[in-house]
Amino acid sequence: MDESIKLPQLRKIIHLDMDAFYASVDQRDFPELRGKPLAVGGSPDGRGVVATASYEARKYGVRSAMSSRKAMELCPDLLFTFPRFEVYKEVSIKLQEIFSRYTDLIEPLSLDEAYLDVTEDKQGIGSALEIAKRIKIAIQSELNLTASAGVSVNKFVAKIASAIHKPDGLTFIGPSKIISFIESLPVEKFFGVGKVTATKMKNLGIFTGLDLKQRSEKKLIQLFGKSGSFFYRMVRGLDDRPVQPGRMIKSIGVEDTFENDLDDKEALNLELEKIAQKVEKRLKARNMQGRTLTLKLKFNDFVQITRNHSFCSYESDQDIIYQTAVLLLDKIDLQDKKVRLLGITLSNFQSENIPLLNPQLRLFKD
Ligand code: DCP
Ligand code: MG
> Are residues 332 and 275 both part of a single domain?
yes
The H or E element spanning position 258 is strand 251-262
pLDDT for 41 beyond 50: yes
Asked whether residue 108 falls in the same domain as residue 162, the answer is yes
Query: Could you tell me if 163 and 188 lie in one domain?
Result: no
Task: Give residue 357's pLDDT.
Answer: 35
Indicate if 33 and 102 belong to the same structural domain: no
Which ligand does the CA of 166 lie closest to?
1
Ligand 1 cavity residues, CB under 6 Å? 17-22, 51-52, 64-65, 110, 112-113, 166-167, 314
Nearest CA to ligand 1 atom 20: 20
Same domain? 90 vs 80: no
User: What separation in Å is there between the alpha carbon of 115 and the centre of ligand 2?
Assistant: 13
Residue 361 counted as domain residue: no
Q: How many domains does the chain have?
A: 4
Mean pLDDT of 280-290: 83
Q: Which phi and psi angles does 335 have, rounded to 5°?
A: 50, 40
CA-proximal residue: ligand 1, atom 9 (nearest): 51
Ligand nearest 65 Cα, by number?
Answer: 1
How far apart are the CA of 319 and the centre of ligand 2, in A? 28
pLDDT at 284: 81
Catalytic pick among 113, 183, 217, 280: 113
- Closest ligand relative to 21 C-alpha: 1
Cβ atoms 300, 340 nearer than 8 A = yes
Identify any residues that bridge with 256 across adjacent strands, giving them in sequence order.
Answer: 342
pLDDT at 347 exceeding the cut of 50: yes
DSSP-derived letter for residue 352 is T
Query: Parallel, antiparallel, or unpaired: how do β-strands 113-117 and 79-81 relate?
Result: unpaired
Q: Which of 36-40, 120-124, 289-293, 343-347 has the lowest mean pLDDT?
A: 289-293
Instruction: Give pLDDT tens digits for 234-261.
Output: 999 999 999 988 655 778 999 999 999 9
> pTM, whole model, 2 decimals?
0.75
Q: State which ligand 1 atom lies nearest to the alpha carbon of 167.
A: 26
Given a cut of 50, is residue 354 above it in pLDDT?
no
What sign has the CA pseudo-torsion 162, 165, 168, 171? negative
Other beta carbons within 10 Å of 365: 15
Q: Indicate the top mutation candidate among 50, 52, 87, 109 to test ligand 1's pocket, ranked by most ligand atoms within 8 A of CB.
A: 52
Per the structure, the complete domain to which residue 266 belongs is given by: 251-350
Residue 86 is a catalytic residue: no
d(CA 265, CA 262): 8
What is the per-residue pLDDT for 364? 27
pLDDT value of residue 355: 39
Find, among 49, 41, 36, 47, the residue nearest to 75 by Cα: 36
Mean pLDDT score, 139-157: 97
Query: Rounded to the nearest whole angstrom, what is the distance from the C-alpha of residue 147 to the centroid of ligand 1?
Result: 12
The mean of the pLDDT values for the chain is: 90
pLDDT tens, position by position, 201-236: 999 999 999 999 999 999 999 999 888 999 999 999
CATH code of the domain covering residue 189: 1.10.150.20
